[in-house]
């Protein structure tokens, strides 16, 4: 007489004949999940892009020339102003 309980419930660990044929070979031996090459490549690309962005943020400087007018009769002064990543409000 065949048991009607869940497979492995009694500690035997074997499937009944009808359950084995229904679940196929996958139930008999668990397989390792396949490595997705596209997913691995995407993760490597994202890691590299993150590192490049961090380096660019750390080394970036922007210099701009600002015109300062003191009086209408005098010519405007050209003052170079340098901005660094540490001046950004997000990092203060």
> Pairing relation of β-strands 77-84 and 61-68?
antiparallel
Instruction: Classify the C-alpha dihedral 39-41-42-47 as positive or negative.
Output: positive
**Single pTM value for the model:** 0.42
Apex 50 CA angle, 44 and 55, nearest 5: 130
Task: Name the pLDDT band for 86 (thresholds 50, 70, 90).
Answer: confident
Separation of CA 88 from chain center:
24
- Diameter over CA atoms, the chain: 110
Segment 28-59, tens digit of pLDDT: 566 777 778 899 999 999 999 999 998 888 78
């Amino acid at each position: 007489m065949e048991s009607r309980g869940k497979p492995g419930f009694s500690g035997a660990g074997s499937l009944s004949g009808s359950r084995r044929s229904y679940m196929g070979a996958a139930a008999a031996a668990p397989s390792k999940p396949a490595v997705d090459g596209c997913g691995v490549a995407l993760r490597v690309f994202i890691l590299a892009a993150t590192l490049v962005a961090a380096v660019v943020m750390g080394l970036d400087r922007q210099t701009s020339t600002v015109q300062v007018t003191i009086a209408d009769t005098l010519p405007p002064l050209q003052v170079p102003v340098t901005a660094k990543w540490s001046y950004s409000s997000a990092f203060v």
